[in-house]
A and B are shown apart, each in its own frame.
With several copies, the nearest count.
Chain A
Amino acid sequence: MQDSGRQTGLEARSVHAWRGDRHVIRGLSLRVTPGHCLHLAGPNGVGKTTLIRILAGLIRPEDGSVLWRGEAVGHDPDAFHADTAFLGHDNALKADLSPLENLAFWSALAGRPAAAVAATLGAFGLQACLGLPVRVLSAGQKRRVALARVALSGASLWLLDEPFTNLDTGGIRLVEAQLAQHLAAGGMAVVAAHQPVTPDQGEVRRMELS
């Protein structure tokens, strides 16, 4: 397992990061292998968002390295990003376009069939809003559209920053079901959340930052 993990998963080795003059991430190491989900927990401001953005390659760590399938992410970032889906605090949706149009664009960039978009949005309980401009959706409905983008991406690694924000209990169950399916198919995930993360399948490891 140890070795195959090196080759197939995501690994961070003693990563350090500063924000301003705060040393937020201090020598953190982690590993995620297929079928596993890492749940990042910890109080507000501890650095969960910072860590997820480092793993995604949006922030370069001051020190340490992030490896994907055994190679440094910086070596071929495009290949890494092609296999990763990231959800941040923002939803990355255009207020003037409908959920359908928004996701059609992202799935075109990811090289996924356009046909799947409507079905996935439906699975997220958005049948009634497919054609409305995103600006009129409620906060929870917007979050669901953003989550549908991740589910559509076909990426092996999901990086989700507080995916449950603004979701009702039904929405949370939905996301966990999608996560379970992803893990069961050999996917990986890193999820920052204040709530427990309990998909039916796949193994969740909780990591408390402090």
Chain B
Amino acid sequence: MWTWFHKLASPPHFYRIAGLTIPAFSWAAGLLVAAGLYGGLVLAPPDYQQGEGFRIFYVHVPSAILSMFVYATMAIAAAIGLIWRMKLAHAVAAASAPIGAWFTACALATGSIWGKPMWGTWWVWDARLTSELILLFLYLGYLGLRSSFDDLQRADRASAVLAVIGIVNLPVIHYSVVWWNSIHQGSTLLTPGAMPIAMKWPALCMLAGFALFYGAVLFVRLRGEVVRRERSAAWLREVLVK
């Protein structure tokens, strides 16, 4: 297990594996999202309260969940990079940040758009919404900090520290609706019986599709990162010449 891990973490090996995974992930993501959209927009019945408007669920929920999942991945990768000084882990964190920032922006945008008709307002300063906004700021701070260094190693480690600090925000986002009286609803997917299966499966498809999409983009960006980091290494020249 450990040797396998090390082998995966070695840049040349990773570069090859990533080359194989990217198409697989992309196809799977495309299919799942297509199925989810069809299921969500066409097959699923309207909601008894929100009517057709509830269908924005199928974009909002996966982006919101992914925004947190990507941050968690990023912070864990950053921690691994800090502790075991693994370059590939830093690369994962660096490659994840912009993707996560886009998911967060998307969750905020779709949430606002949804909030206007349902709640009667685009935005309120409640705990869930504010903490999600902080997540966006954290991503932006991370990106800003990274790009302020010209030395890659220092950029890696400084931004890793920030990523790890910011992880305290994740439980706040998730439990905000439990801890505070929030205008935002509680968890639908995790509450048994809160959603009939006809409405739920497209959501799960979308979620899986978004996750695979993240995986695919991550690997594409990672290959870029690896090329940038190893540009003087012999193996890379061989691969690129081929």
- A→B interface (CB under 8 Å): 20-21, 133, 135-136
A21 with B232: CB separation less than 8 A: yes
Chain A residues positioned under 8 Å from B150 (CB to CB): 133, 135-136
B151 touching A20, Cβ below 8 Å:
yes
Rounded to whole angstroms, the CA-CA distance of A136 and B232 in the bound complex is 18
Interface flags for B141-174 (1: CB within 8 Å of A; 0: not) read 0000000001100000000000000000000000
In the complex, the number of residue pairs spanning A and B with C-beta atoms less than 8 Å apart equals 7
Report the bound CA distance from A133 to B151 in whole Å.
11
> What are 7 A-B pairs at a CB distance below 8 A?
A20-B151, A21-B231, A21-B232, A133-B150, A135-B150, A136-B150, A136-B151
Q: Which residues of B contact A21 (CB under 8 A)?
A: 231-232
| Residues of chain B from 200 to 235 with CB closer than 8 A to chain A in the complex | 231-232
> CB-defined interface of B21-42 with A at 8 Å, one 1/0 digit per residue?
0000000000000000000000
- Distance of A20 Cα from B152 Cα, bound (Å): 8
Q: Which 7 A-B pairs have the closest CB atoms?
A: A21-B232, A133-B150, A21-B231, A20-B151, A135-B150, A136-B150, A136-B151
Nearest residue (CB) in B for A96 is: B150
Give the residues in chain A near B232, CB-CB below 8 Å: 21
Distance, CA A136 to CA B149, complexed state (A) = 12
Contact bitstring B114-131, A, C-beta under 8 A = 1, else 0: 000000000000000000
By beta carbon, the residue of chain B nearest A59 is: B153
Chain A nearest Cβ from B81, distance in angstroms: 14
Contact partners of A135 in chain B: CB under 8 A: 150
Q: Which A residues are CB-close (under 8 A) to B231?
A: 21
Rounded to whole Å, the gap between the CB of A92 and the closest CB of chain B is 20
User: Which residue among B150, B231, B232 has the maximum number of chain A CB atoms within 10 Å of its CB?
Assistant: B150
CA distance A16 to B151 in the complex (A): 17
